[in-house]
Structure 1
Amino acid sequence: MTLELYCATDVGRARDNNEDSVALDESVGLAVLADGMGGYNAGEVASQMLTSFIKAELGRWLKEAGSAAAVADVRRAMDICVDNANRAIFNAANTNPRYAGMGTTLVLATFREGHLLLGHVGDSRAYRLRAGQLTQITRDHSLLQEQLDAGLLTPEEAVFSSNKNLVTRAVGVEDAVMLELHQHEVQPGDVYLLCSDGLSDMLDSESIQQLLLSYPSLSEAAQALIDAANDMGGKDNIAIVLARAEGRTRQGGRAWWPFGRKQ
């Protein structure tokens, strides 16, 4: 299989600055997305610190480890990298008054041979489009999700909830953070979407699915999603990462995964 990656951000229609950040390292199948929070420009600082740190540190580890690295070792490297980034952001927030209280969500995708290791913190999301069907493959760390899980709200009521943007877990707000991490099988033709809530709050799953199915290129699909979110009000910054797996298993052998953009 080959992996094609594309990312984009947009300030939206209601904000003056962009607190969303994305980073890719196609050579190792790495994608990072963060949505910052905090006063002044602190949210922007937190998200950029996180994506830059993970791209540099985890990207270097993945290059050195190579494709033969065991899944358990990659998972441990992801955990350690996020923990180190969390401490760096937490320390910055506690030593610079301008950054007090800053933090950020995270979605972290590491594509390996035939599978995806997906980690997240907060309410930024990941979806998978497979055989024309879109599925959300992360579960928000938010007060709203807890209320839904407890049966205190219906999905219809949740659309109008005032608790939409209250996260229960974020990177940098405490001296430790738990990365929720899961492994997913990757099949040829899969498309993966990582996004901030600037997209998912504006568009429902059906609308996202239809747009992803309507555009043949990742860049066109990303722009269509951003335009649609802005047309619905663009109430927040919008960040998008799209990844598409193409190819087939070698005849009589195991799946192969040369990293990098599809030619």
Structure 2
Amino acid sequence: MVSVTDAGMVRTHNEDSVGTLPEQGIAILADGMGGYNAGEVASGIAVSLISAELSQALAQRDPAAIDPESGRPLAEIMLRDEIRRANASVYQAAQSQPQYAGMGTTLVVTLFFDNRVAIGHIGDSRTYRLRGEQLTQITKDHSLLQEQIDSGMISREEARRSCHKNLVTRALGIDPEVEPEIHVHDVQSEDIYLLCSDGLNDMVEDEEIRLTLLALRSNLPLAAHQLVQMANDNGGRDNVSVILIRVKHEFPVRRRGLLRLLSKLKK
């Protein structure tokens, strides 16, 4: 598990935040928005709170256990609870301090457990999965462009040329309550998961991302830096952040190996 974040070639400061807890299978990426430095505050609050609270929750609850009310894995409930708490904290900070008024952040969080991964997201930060040679976007943007694509108003190619790329329809911290989108996916050995802010996918085509991951899948630190460099070489109009995770082996519950589910990458 490796992370890189960069201000890009145009912005004077970086409003993205990233956090990883490899031993617990947690990765978090947030892309802040707001007035001067407010976006950085929003994303920082979200990442720090969720990483701390989710880590604590994992010490007390088994994410693979089934919630009796919903019949879903507790991992989903835990993600939803912690994202909602972070939303409340960012919202309250924005309401109580004028310099932070209107701040918010996108968010994507992964929690690996029992040969599965629970992914919660809000906004247009993404998760991709490379399985074999196929790269798949497994989150769906909460954005105006995505709604226009879904309705057939524009094509994906037209969306890439749009000047409305940054209009999200859902963000953390803007309203008193927010509903994160959460899904659980099966995980296979040698899967590679990419979390990224839109500073990457707006600047680098999915096919270029795929080819980079294929070429450097045995060296994820280099792959992460290469992806950021590609975004900057193509203009770097936004902050760009990536987290890369390679699943080295299976991690079923029976092994009680949740705290060792992701081996450290060789440097």
Correspondence for 1:151: 152
Q: Mind listing any 5+ residue stretches in structure 2 that lack a counterpart? A: 67-71
Aligned to 1:138: 139
Superposed CA offset, 1:9-33 (max 9, x none) = 0110001110000001122100100
Q: Superposed, which structure 2 residues align to 1:47-196 within 5 Å?
A: 47-66=43-62, 69-70=65-66, 72-196=73-197
User: Does the C-alpha gap of structure 1 residues 67 and 204 become closer, same or farther in structure 2, counting only changes over 3 Å?
Assistant: same
Do the aligned partners of residues 61 and 153 (structure 1) sit closer, same or farther apart at CA in structure 2, a change above 3 Å counting?
same
Correspondence 1:45 to 2:41: yes
Q: Does structure 2 conserve the Cα–Cα contact (< 8 Å) formed by 1:105 and 1:123? A: yes
Which of 231, 238, 241 pairs up with 2:240? Answer: 238
Distance 1:178 1:161, change over 3 A: same
Preserved CA contact (<8 Å) 2:125 2:196 = yes
Match of 1:30 in 2: 26
SS across alignment from 2:128: strand
Q: Which whole-Å CA distance do the structure 1 matches of 2:158 and 2:111 have between them?
A: 35
Once residues 38 and 23 of structure 1 are traced to their aligned partners in structure 2, the CA distance between those partners, rounded to angstroms, is: 21
Could you tell me how far apart the structure 2 residues matched to 1:219 and 1:51 are? 21
| Corresponding residue for residue 204 of structure 1 | 205
| SS at structure 1 position matched to 2:73 | helix
Identity %: 48
Deviations 1:169-218 (A, max 9, x none): 00000000011000000001100000000001001110000011111211
- Using the TM superposition, give the Cα deviation of residue 38 of structure 1 relative to its aligned residue in structure 2, in angstroms: 0.1
2:264 matched to which residue of 1? 262
Aligned length: 257
How many angstroms apart in 2 are the aligned matches of 1:203 and 1:77?
33
Q: Tell me, yes or no, if the aligned pair for 2:115 and 2:187 is still in contact at 8 Å.
A: yes
- Whole-angstrom distance in 2 between the partners of 1:189 and 1:232: 29
User: C-alpha separation between the residues in 2 aligned to 1:248 and 1:59?
Assistant: 21
Unaligned ranges ≥5, structure 1: none
SS state at 1:246 partner = coil
Q: CA deviation at 1:72?
A: 2.5
| Larger relative contact order (CA 8 Å, sep ≥ 6) | 1
How far apart are the structure 2 equivalents of 1:69 and 1:156? 42
Matches within 5 A, 1:205-224: 205-215=206-216, 216-224=218-226
CA contact (8 A) 2:113 2:251 kept: no
Instruction: Give the Cα separation in 1 of the matches to 2:251 and 2:105.
Output: 38
Cα-Cα RMSD: 1.8
Match of 2:228 in 1: 226
**Partner amino acid for 1:98?**
Q
Tell me the SS of whatever aligns to 2:171. Answer: coil
Per the TM alignment, residue 66 of structure 1 is displaced from its structure 2 partner at its CA by: 4.5
